[in-house]
């Protein structure tokens, strides 16, 4: 069996003359969480639907644990769960009935279905709410239910399209916790979102899409290192009374590109990898250093630098 959970080879999907997904190659190891980000219309949903066998590509192939989406979609559907970005139009059902309906679709025998419904309600914090009607659920509970139905057949691979969309901060935190639990269970997860701090927190790897192309992918730490190689940003904190003197000194220092105040820090940008000369200047001038650290490039900064804002 393949060691990769997902192998995407040259996958292309075209709508009329629009290349929604344009020759994407990507491999995801078993147990990894891949965060997929990109501007509106980048092609994320299209790619997730292709992975989930809900659309056929024009070119290329995807293998899920070794099975091809072209040759063996039925096998893939047994081991993959897709959570769509939209809930659709639920009929007049209770949470329990809704989950039972999906359990039937996956041909889970009745006795086991009851057990699975309990398990997925437990996992998604819907425990004890089986009798509540689906219509009228809050956005938070609706998203929980969508995730619960995605998990009903205990899939190894999870494809989640914007699961945190519309959630309030507490519900978002809870959802992150659920995704982390699923990752700890060993599941391979592909998750798209526009909420970059969430993606940053839960992903092992990041894929950035724009205009159908995968413009960047890799482990977050490697992406940060790449980003750092181009410029070094240092977060410096000195005592409040010495901040303006330090700013003045460093702004004039050879090798410093810029020194700006981002309260309470001074952010020093340099293209010299060894930053000891900055420390030396501060010590020479007897400025007390309270904090001196690399300013970690956030996913948002990496995203802004990798995308150009093209609209399809
Ligand atoms: N069924 C379709 N028919 C025609 N065009 C489509 C279809 N589905 C998607 N598209 C187009 O393909 C492009 C990619 O759309 P997609 O929904 O995959 O982007 P996305 O990255 O998920 O965007 P968002 O962040 O807004 O969800 C868009 O230009 C969209 O209008
Ligand atoms: Mg989408």
pLDDT at residue 68 in the model:
97
Average pLDDT score over the chain:
93
- Number of domains the chain contains: 2
The verdict on 179 and 293 lying in the same domain is no
**Whether pLDDT at 308 is above 50:** yes
Of 12, 45, 310, the residue with max ligand 1 atoms within 8 A of its CB, to mutate for a pocket test, comes to 45
Which atom belonging to ligand 1 lies closest to the Cα atom of 38?
21
What's the pLDDT tens digit per position in 267-286? 999 988 888 999 999 999 99
Using an 8 Å Cβ cutoff, are 45 and 85 in contact? yes
The verdict on 79 and 122 lying in the same domain is yes
The verdict on 25 and 170 lying in the same domain is yes
Which atom belonging to ligand 1 lies closest to the Cα atom of 194?
25
pLDDT at residue 306 in the model:
84
Which atom belonging to ligand 1 lies closest to the Cα atom of 209?
21
123-127 mean pLDDT: 94
Beta strand ranges found along 107-231 (DSSP E): 157-161, 188-192, 205-210, 213-219
Q: Flag whether 226 is in a domain.
A: no
Backbone angles phi, psi at 273, to 5 degrees: -60, -40
The verdict on 35 and 162 lying in the same domain is yes
Q: Flag whether 22 is in a domain.
A: yes
Residue 127's CB: how many other CB atoms inside 10 A?
12
Residue 162 CA, ligand 2 centroid: distance in Å: 7
The verdict on 48 and 188 lying in the same domain is yes
d(CA 262, CA 235): 9
Q: How far is residue 86 from each of residues 25, 82, 83, 166, measured CA to CA in Å?
A: 27, 11, 9, 11
Which atom belonging to ligand 1 lies closest to the Cα atom of 43?
18
Backbone angles phi, psi at 93, to 5 degrees: -125, 160
Token readout for 62 is 């995807």
Among the three residues 197, 219, 241, which one is the final residue of a domain in this structure?
219
d(CA 131, CA 136): 13
Place 232 in a pLDDT band, splitting at 50, 70 and 90.
confident
Of 12, 20, 162, 208, the residue with max ligand 1 atoms within 8 A of its CB, to mutate for a pocket test, comes to 20
* Entry pTM: 0.86
Name the residue range of residue 257's domain.
231-300
Q: Flag whether 276 is in a domain.
A: yes
The verdict on 123 and 246 lying in the same domain is no
The verdict on 163 and 270 lying in the same domain is no
What's the pLDDT tens digit per position in 76-96? 999 999 999 988 877 789 999
The verdict on 144 and 28 lying in the same domain is yes
Among the three residues 191, 219, 247, which one is the final residue of a domain in this structure?
219
Among the three residues 190, 219, 248, which one is the final residue of a domain in this structure?
219
Nearest CA to ligand 1 atom 28: 41
d(CA 250, CA 35): 38
Q: Flag whether 312 is in a domain.
A: no
Cα R_g (the chain), whole angstroms: 24
Q: Flag whether 225 is in a domain.
A: no
58-80 mean pLDDT: 97
Place 297 in a pLDDT band, splitting at 50, 70 and 90.
confident
Residue 283 CA, ligand 1 centroid: distance in Å: 55
H/E element, 232: strand 232-238
pLDDT at residue 312 in the model:
45
Percentage above 70 pLDDT, the chain: 97
Token readout for 45 is 């949903």
H/E element, 265: strand 265-270
Q: Which residues line ligand 1 (CB under 6 A)?
A: 15, 18, 20, 38, 40-46, 312
The verdict on 151 and 279 lying in the same domain is no
Q: Flag whether 309 is in a domain.
A: no
């Amino acid at each position: 069996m393949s060691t990769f959970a997902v192998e995407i080879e040259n996958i292309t999907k075209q709508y009329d003359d629009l290349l929604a997904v344009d020759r994407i190659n990507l491999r995801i190891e078993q147990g990894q969480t891949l965060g997929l980000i990109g501007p509106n219309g980048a092609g994320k949903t299209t790619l997730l639907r292709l992975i989930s066998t809900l659309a056929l590509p024009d070119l290329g192939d995807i293998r899920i644990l070794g099975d091809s989406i072209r040759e063996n979609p039925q096998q893939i559907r047994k081991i993959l769960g897709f959570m769509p970005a939209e809930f659709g139009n639920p009929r007049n059902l209770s949470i329990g009935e809704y989950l039972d309906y999906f359990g039937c679709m996956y041909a889970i025998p009745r006795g086991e279905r009851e057990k699975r419904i309990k398990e997925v309600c437990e996992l998604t914090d819907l425990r004890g709410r089986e009798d509540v009607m689906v219509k009228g659920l809050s956005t938070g509970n609706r998203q929980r239910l969508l995730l619960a139905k995605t998990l009903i057949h205990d899939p190894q691979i999870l494809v989640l399209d914007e699961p945190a969309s519309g959630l309030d901060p507490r519900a978002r935190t809870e959802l992150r916790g659920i995704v982390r639990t699923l990752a700890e269970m060993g599941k391979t997860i592909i998750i798209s979102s526009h909420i970059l701090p969430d993606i940053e927190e839960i992903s092992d790897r990041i894929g950035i899409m724009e205009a159908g192309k995968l413009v960047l992918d890799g482990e977050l730490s490697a992406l940060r290192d790449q980003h750092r190689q181009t410029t070094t940003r240092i977060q410096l904190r000195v005592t409040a009374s010495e901040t303006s003197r330090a700013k003045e000194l460093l702004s004039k220092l050879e090798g410093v590109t810029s020194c700006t105040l981002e309260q309470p820090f001074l952010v020093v940008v340099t293209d010299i990898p060894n930053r000891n000369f900055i420390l030396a200047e501060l010590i020479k001038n007897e400025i007390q250093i309270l904090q001196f650290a690399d300013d970690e490039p956030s996913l948002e900064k990496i995203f802004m630098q990798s995308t150009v804002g093209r609209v399809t």
